[in-house]
A and B are shown apart, each in its own frame.
Chain A
């Protein structure tokens, strides 16, 4: 199976959502600000529950927020 990485558009979506802060997003989805920072940096892959919460916060689908990139 090829190696895969997860890219996300959290930072862009936060700014589009009235410049929501990282802490503000963390409070809405029930995680710590550190988790949000690491998510945006691509250093942490969220669980399905957290991914769905984030997508719902922005009014988007999970696929619009997170992107699977497979190395070939």
Chain B
């Protein structure tokens, strides 16, 4: 099976794992009883994490799409492909890291984050380690199977493994923040 399909499988497994963990660990809470026409107000942290995902996911998807379209070898050898992809990955990383970085700056300031925000932020990274492990496992298995019998695995995959771990880790953190607000 091609490495691209393995990558898609990895991302799907990570998302499925995050979803299952969220569903299984959700406590039984009373249903929200709000006046007609009223919805639960969102917090600054929620809006930030949501916007980060809305901006970051397309950037990462675009980078992945370019690598998938041209192939890992062309990505590695051709600067006209590698530089834009690297730019997209760095931009995606910065966008997705923004909520965590801003939260760190806000923690010490009164009135920005309340106790519930802090509790949710402290739990948000819970899925990051699992997400990274799943991505690494799928990469390793996929590359082993794809290059079985060959003398080596192209070095380009070192970059791709690194970037996929970084981006999935940040995705999991932001998704963890949003899930935390839904169930807390």
On A, residues with C-beta under 8 Å from B are 30-35, 37-38, 41-44, 46-47, 49-50
Label chain A's interface by main secondary structure: loop
Residue of B nearest to A31 (CB): B114
Contacts of A37 on B, CB cut-off 8 Å? Answer: 34, 40-41
Interface size counted on chain B using CB atoms at 8 A: 19
Contacts of A30 on B, CB cut-off 8 Å? Answer: 110-111, 114
Q: Are B42 and A46 touching (Cβ within 8 A)?
A: no
Assess whether B116 is interfacial by the CB under 8 Å rule: yes
- In Å, the complex CA distance between A47 and B33 comes to 23
* B78-114 Cβ-contact flags toward A at 8 Å (1 or 0): 0000000000000000000000000000000011001
Residue of A nearest to B38 (CB): A37
Considering residues A38, A43, A49, which has the most beta carbons from chain B within 10 angstroms of its beta carbon?
Answer: A43
Q: Are A41 and B117 touching (Cβ within 8 A)?
A: no
From 105 to 137 in chain B, residues with beta carbon under 8 angstroms from any chain A beta carbon are 110-111, 114-117
